[in-house]
Structure 1
Amino acid sequence: MASYHYQQSQDPGGANFSGVPSVVPIPGNDQQPHVYNVASQFPQNPNAYSRLNESAEDYNYIDDDYETSLEYDDGDESRCSEDGAMSLSGAIASGLDQLGTPHGSAGSNNSIPQSAGGASSSFNGGVPVSSMINGTRSRAEANMKHRDKKQVKLIGMEGEKSTKTTRKTVKQKTSPTIDLPRLFSKLKEQKSNLLDVRKEHIASLPSSIKELTNLETVLLVSNRLATLPPEVSHLVKLRQLFLSENLIVSLPPEMSKLSASLAVLDLRHNRLKEVPNVIYCLAALKTLLLSFNKITVVDDTIGNLTNLYTLAFRENHVTSLPNTIGKLTKLQNLDMSRNNLSVLPEEIGHCTHLTSLILPHNQLESLPASVGKLTQLTRLGLKYNRLAEVPESLSRCVLLDEVNIENNLIVQLPDGMLQPMKHLSTVVLSRNAFEALPNGKPDQYKLLATLEADRNKITRIPFGYFSKAENLSRLNLENNQLKSLPLDFNTWRSLVELNLGTNLLEKIPEDISRLEKLEVLILSNNQIKKIPKTLGDLYRLRVLDLEENQLETLPQEVERLQNLHTLLLTSNRLVNLPRSIGNLASLQKLMMGENNLNAIPEEIGNLERLEELYINDNMNLHWLPAELTLCASLQIMSIDNCPLSQLPEEIVFGGPSLVIQYLRMHSPYRSGYV
């Protein structure tokens, strides 16, 4: 996976730490202050909650663990998708798949418009250091966002060029922008099978819609409809009806006349407080999308919809499912995420064609044993519930490629539960009460690529536990109670990302050099006093997080880490840095605040790619080398709470920008800037 999830650390807010250093831009060689683009630092994405500008790839009814966007109600979780339901284009594609019609076509002559993919924004304030492994992030990284915010504020305070955004008030259109009777007349003349009037502020449809008897697909997305006219029942060929993002509170009972034709009904993002009774009469339905409403009850008559392939109730207020759910024997995708379910009926086991069962963010305390009958499942979402255990029968779901039980109350999995799951590539056990890793033979992880077991109470890793995990590339054991690593630690050679932060480790094995593929290594917040010289052999390492340990020195051999772009040394006991640090040609971010540094080596001037330097809160640091001015890419620097007594007081008081200018004016390298 090329991209990394973002997730809060054990200190989610990351805001109110004492001694947060001031961060200001550093002027470039032209001695003009570098001003960050505020919009790029703190992007505002107006489409973050858009339901239409998503790509069709979003349609898979997978758990919202696996998307990247916005999460708004989990407190310390920010790596989840805002909208796990399918996009409009995805819903269309799904309906056409089930109807046997080629994608993008609603008939022989009319092509369905495909919505553009929504633009996404990303934080541009540097490498999200400790979030590299499954979104975990250290205290210093949490601090960074607030430093950047302070930086933006300081730009304005110092009178330097600031960026202000003036918003123009745009009057919302409240009346339709289209002449529907005229349009209907034209469509009738053309015998069209497609009606597409999205985002037209339509509050009602004229009764003349009954004359469009050739319609097969109707798109009324993003209007102001509260209901439909009874005349819609005349559209006897209608197969797909998209009504998402309206104000619908009811549907006319006359729609029951569409029971033989209507296969796809999309009512997401409306104002339904109950499922309209007429829906239970639409026996031909294959896709029913009711997500993002206020529905509290699912009626027993849901069992009438025996042709359903996809059923979505995401983000409603449903407290239970009726036993008749078991009659939906063709059902393949069921999304009940973000409801108030406390129990799942035993009859769910009759839905033997289910491939995706999405149940996160409910109040489930147990699962029925019948879930083991769902042997076609490839995706099971159970995160953020109240499960104390999972049934042993789950081991019969051998096609699962991912097990995610994050944020429950589980202490242990049934013995050998993962063993039969030969397709398993991802296991997420985070935020539970595990005291040990799951029992089972080593080959249970033969195909495993990712294991996340952070924020548990795990005390040890058994010898040979990962001996068969030949594909394991990401291992996250952050925030546990590990005191040591197993003797066969050097056999974890497939690892690319390893997070052992916030444990009780006192040393790192010398043979860490055997982990030749390692690119991200997080050891923050342990009790490590010494780093082995062999660490320098990890030539692929890009991120090294050693903050909040007890380090007094760094080995000279770190100079061999030629691909390292982020080095975190904050909150240790460092008195000095090796001169070889100047050989880290790729280094872009160096954080060494809150140490005991009494000098910065002159070789720091060799770091031509260095963009961010944090040396704040070093109480013995009285001078900065003139070579600092040679760091041509330097944009951000923090010197808060450093005495710097050998510099003029008024210069230090003026902040990093003034300090750099002073060093430049008094350095032997000044001629290089003329």
Structure 2
Amino acid sequence: MNFFLIFSSVLVNCIGYEITYTDYDSIKELIHKPDEVGLYNEITNNPDFSCSFSFEVNEGDEDTKEIKIIKLNNVDPETGENMFPAIFCEINYIKRLILNDLTLSRLPNQFEKFKELSFLNLNNNEFKEFPQVLFSLSKLKTLHLDFNKFVKIPSEIIQMNSLEILSIGYCSHLISINSNLFKLKNLNELDLSRNPLLFKNNNFIAYSIYSDDKASTKNENNDPTKFVSYKSLKKLHISSNGLSTFPRIFYNFINLEELVVSRNLFKNIPRKLIFFINLKILDISFNHIKKLTIKQNMLSNLLKLYLNHNKITKLLIPDNTLKSLETLVLSCNRFSKLDKNIFRLKQLKSLSVFGIVFTEITKFPRERDDPISLKLTLKDISVLPNIFSYNCINELTVKCKDQIDKEINIFEHVPINSKIKYLDLSKCFLTSIPHSISKLINLETFEAEFNQIITLENVFIGMTLKFLNLSFNQIISIDRSIFDIYTLERLDLSFNNIELIPSNINNTRNRNLQIDLHENPLRSGIDVDLQ
């Protein structure tokens, strides 16, 4: 018996096994009737046989068992195909079976013994035909068939009544799906991503009929919009299929809650989605959208919208649109103005604009109880002031591309009840900290690393500052009252040009202050003249 891995925890026991032509005793422990004649012929007749696998049992439910085959050498000498060992079919109550990356091209008839199987992963194998034996697995709920060589999904799939999740993406040979797939009443999630031949035209639905004594699957007039599963399907992924229009086959799937159409050729959000009133997540990233116009009352229940890596130069979001939106990802687009189209989104909690250099920010006074965090890259610091009028931010991080010589009142538009608690102005070419920073009465953390500040003045009077980070500047002079800010807990002055520190450093009233002065050219002694 060869064990290559042993893992145990409170909830799960996972044991690794390795069986070979000469040593297969370990698998006998897992079989209900291990002494049946001929049970191990598949192993004993193949001198090259080897198989490494893990066997996992959930301690909270003895019937929840999982097998994952990690390595397999069971080549049929006649066909040259790697074969799934039928001996595994003798193990009872297997609910999860992971067989990816094994170069399998077919499954044995004994596979039908996995009566309790609910999860099956056959990703990255060599299947050219949909394994017929899967139709007998009445409890199968999740099936992964990505990266195989299927040409079609057959009509018999209607027999898989319990199927809830089907992933059959990255199948470069797939050209046809039988309409019966869309009649599965429990199908909740479908992934058809990266099937380039399938979506090449609108005629990929086949209408060959399969029926048995239990049900008829006939679709009158072969109408592709009259299917049952459009009521149950909640998640649809059709990324990387060269789509420029939304496929007609999906028009009636209006109960969708998640739609992923990333890495296609869309130039706008498909108009048909106006009818998808239950849609909560839309990923249309990596497309060709230039001017984005979202129609009035469109996508009113959407919570997350991914528009990153498009070519957007103009964004138009009318009132009463995207009323529920909480997450908006606009990173790596081509617009440079941050305006009221975004600020008017009342429920927004997360805004991502990474990779966009803003040259203008619209002044838009607004206040809300649940502020957001925001990271901006600006052309220069002169673009910044208007952002403070939008009093819906509690964490603001800013980076600047260019330096300007004129003096800017950065905090000109800070309201009297500013909600900002964290502000990072690192790499913004600051030569000093403006006195008007004191308007940020709730500021707790201020970071301004990698700037050009020479003198550290105490411009933080009346604030509740806890952490001040001014490392990697050019500071040579420090206002001694800095050390008496009673709320200050940490002061980072590392990597500056400080030689002498104020004389009151040892008598500061703030005895809890931690000061970091490493990598400064400190001299022994203190500066008694420093005020």
* TM-score, L = length of structure 1: 0.55
Give runs of aligned pairs for residues 260-409 of structure 1, distance below 5 A.
Answer: 261=115, 264-268=118-122, 271-272=125-126, 274=128, 277-279=131-133, 281-282=135-136, 284=138, 286-290=140-144, 294-301=147-154, 304-306=157-159, 307=161, 308-313=163-168, 316-318=170-172, 320=174, 322-324=176-178, 327-330=181-184, 331-337=187-193, 343=199, 346=202, 347=205, 350=227, 351-352=229-230, 353-360=232-239, 364=243, 366-409=245-288
How many residue pairs end up in the alignment? 451
Question: Residues 202, 345 of structure 1: CA spacing in aligned structure 2 closer, same or farther, 3 A cutoff?
Answer: farther
Show CA shifts across 1:231-276 (max 9, x none). 67788x97845234674624434147559x5663412566445456
What's 1:135 paired with? Answer: none
- Structure ranking higher in strand proportion: 2
Inter-partner Cα distance in structure 1 for 2:103 and 2:479 = 68
1:567 aligned to 2:447?
A: yes
What's 1:609 paired with? Answer: 489
Inter-partner Cα distance in structure 1 for 2:372 and 2:420 = 9
Shift in Å at residue 377 of structure 1?
0.6
SS at match of 1:544: strand
What's 2:220 paired with? Answer: none
1:443 aligned to 2:320?
A: yes
1:498 aligned to 2:374?
A: yes
What's 1:425 paired with? Answer: 303
Show CA shifts across 1:496-532 (max 9, x none). 22333235673445693661x5211133226683312
Give unpaired runs (5+ residues) of structure 1: 1-51, 55-112, 118-170, 189-200, 206-214, 638-655, 670-674
Shift in Å at residue 384 of structure 1?
3.9
1:532 aligned to 2:411?
A: yes
What amino acid is aligned across from residue 531 of structure 1 in structure 2?
A: I
Shift in Å at residue 445 of structure 1?
2.7
Inter-partner Cα distance in structure 2 for 1:488 and 1:427 = 22
Note if contact 1:425-1:447 (Cα within 8 Å) is conserved in structure 2: yes
Identity within the alignment, %:
15
Note if contact 1:428-1:452 (Cα within 8 Å) is conserved in structure 2: yes
1:452 aligned to 2:329?
A: yes
SS at match of 1:501: strand
Show CA shifts across 1:140-172 (max 9, x none). xxxxxxxxxxxxxxxxxxxxxxxxxxxxxxx99
SS at match of 1:443: coil
- Structure ranking higher in helix proportion: 1
Show CA shifts across 1:41-72 (max 9, x none). xxxxxxxxxxx999xxxxxxxxxxxxxxxxxx
SS at match of 1:532: coil
What's 2:525 paired with? Answer: 666
Give unpaired runs (5+ residues) of structure 2: 1-6, 36-48, 54-61, 75-82, 206-223, 507-511
Show CA shifts across 1:164-189 (max 9, x none). xxxxxxx997777963324434799x
Structure with more contact order per residue of length (Cα contacts < 8 Å, sep ≥ 6):
1
Question: Residues 373, 221 of structure 1: CA spacing in aligned structure 2 closer, same or farther, 3 A cutoff?
Answer: same
What amino acid is aligned across from residue 148 of structure 2 in structure 1?
A: I
SS at match of 1:221: strand
Shift in Å at residue 321 of structure 1?
5.1
Inter-partner Cα distance in structure 2 for 1:329 and 1:627 = 81
Question: Residues 536, 402 of structure 1: CA spacing in aligned structure 2 closer, same or farther, 3 A cutoff?
Answer: same
Inter-partner Cα distance in structure 2 for 1:244 and 1:364 = 31
Question: Residues 393, 496 of structure 1: CA spacing in aligned structure 2 closer, same or farther, 3 A cutoff?
Answer: same
1:519 aligned to 2:394?
A: yes
Shift in Å at residue 371 of structure 1?
3.0
Shift in Å at residue 278 of structure 1?
3.2
**Aligned residues: CA RMSD:** 4.8
1:203 aligned to 2:51?
A: yes
Note if contact 1:445-1:466 (Cα within 8 Å) is conserved in structure 2: no
Inter-partner Cα distance in structure 1 for 2:263 and 2:504 = 48
Shift in Å at residue 612 of structure 1?
4.7
Inter-partner Cα distance in structure 1 for 2:495 and 2:417 = 26
1:180 aligned to 2:55?
A: no
* TM-score, L = length of structure 2: 0.67
